[in-house]
Amino acid sequence: MKVLVSGASSQIGFFLLPRLRQLYCPLWLLSRAGGEQLPESGCAWLPVDLENAADRLRLVRRLADEGDVFILIHLAPLWLLPPLLRDMLAADIRLSRVVALSSTSRLTKINSPVAQERLVAERLARAEQTVVEICSQQKVFWTILRPTLVYGCRRDKNITFIENFVRRFGFFPVAGQAAGLRQPVHADDLAKAITTMIGHPETYNKIYTLAGGETLSYRQMVARVFRGCGRKERIISLPPWLFQALAAMSCFLFRRLSITSGMIRRMNEDLCFDYDDAVKDFGYQPRRFKC
Ligand SMILES: NC(=O)c1ccc[n+]([C@@H]2O[C@H](COP(=O)([O-])OP(=O)(O)OC[C@H]3O[C@@H](n4cnc5c(N)ncnc54)[C@H](OP(=O)(O)O)[C@@H]3O)[C@@H](O)[C@H]2O)c1
């Protein structure tokens, strides 16, 4: 069996590939760019834009030439999976297993006041449903994982953003008490979960929410980042309306910055999830948050 990893250059891929290489060889790795960062031995990198039908066709022909059975681990955005699955199955590529990453955003952003965030949640919900339908029809074992806030190799947009801000400015602003609860999950714990569940029948045809091993408030999470950076803790609580106004101004001045009203509101909302099923089914044991 061969393993195809789409979104191989992701932060989860960073931890997953070394684990997979010990178990499966060769690995077929797929992303649009970043091939130079991927491991060379025992791996083949396929530069593919999954949104591009011609690229997908080229990929599928290449896989069909191999004539093997594939395990597909999908780490790229979930809505890119249904067209890939349809193309692979239409080309008679034999798939034995699909493990795909969704997100808890599918649950937490579905009623967001920010249209863009609602759209992400809706796309994830539709993609989850379609993946389940396609795999069930084709008798392919599937597992969908919904992780919460992922960190681990300084490529995420949450913890690393806080860390970079703290290192640069020596303080960090929060809205109100920033009392919303968080469970940051290390990307390597997700990588371990994926390798564990590939051949684990208990996990077939199930959806798991995967959070980190510690629940702490947004404010405590920021404080932990200060400690990790070796900096004196300087967290500045701003009234949410003032935070909102300053964020809007900063986003206007620095076009690459994106701070939505949803993000500001969520600093005081609990985003906590139960992962008992994962503990019971495959011994999921995430670590405590350490930055
Ligand atoms: N980061 C989080 O906090 C978080 C939380 C919950 C769920 N998740 C989910 O977990 C998965 C992995 O997250 P991550 O943070 O590790 O991801 P990431 O670092 O943002 O990487 C995304 C991967 O998908 C690839 N990709 C994106 N668009 C593509 C396209 N059109 N064609 C081919 N490849 C494409 C990227 O490579 P190229 O750009 O080179 O194509 C990259 O390898 C994602 O599905 C994400 O939605 C993440």
Q: What is the DSSP string of 156-222?
A: -SSHHHHHHHHHHHS-EEEETT---EE--EEHHHHHHHHHHHTT-GGGTTEEEEE--S--EEHHHHH
2-147: CATH class: alpha beta
What Cα–Cα distance (Å) separates residue 112 from each residue in 68, 148, 164?
A: 43, 16, 27
Tens-of-pLDDT digits for all 291 residues of the chain?
Answer: 899 999 999 999 999 999 999 988 789 999 999 888 887 788 899 999 999 999 999 999 999 998 888 999 999 999 999 999 999 999 999 999 999 999 999 999 998 888 999 999 999 999 999 999 999 999 999 999 999 999 999 989 999 999 999 999 999 999 999 999 999 999 999 999 999 999 999 999 999 999 999 999 999 999 999 999 999 999 999 999 999 999 999 999 988 888 888 899 999 999 999 999 999 999 999 999 998
The alpha carbon dihedral of 233, 12, 43, 86 has a sign of: negative
Angle at 12 (CA atoms; ends 7, 16), nearest 5 degrees = 95
> For residue 7, how far is its CA from the centre of ligand 1 (angstroms)?
6
Q: What is the CATH number of domain 159-183+214-270?
A: 3.90.25
Residue boundaries of the structural domains of the chain: 2-147, 159-183+214-270
pTM for this one?
Answer: 0.95
Quick check: 70 and 1 in contact, CB under 8 A?
yes
Residues with CB under 6 A from ligand 1: 7-13, 31-34, 48-51, 75-78, 80, 101, 103, 147, 149-150, 155-156, 158
8 alpha carbon to ligand 1 midpoint, in Å? 8
- The strands making up 206-210's β-sheet, listed across from edge to edge, are 43-47, 27-31, 2-6, 69-74, 94-101, 141-147, 206-210
Counting from 1 in the atom list of ligand 1, the atom nearest the Cα of 156 is 1
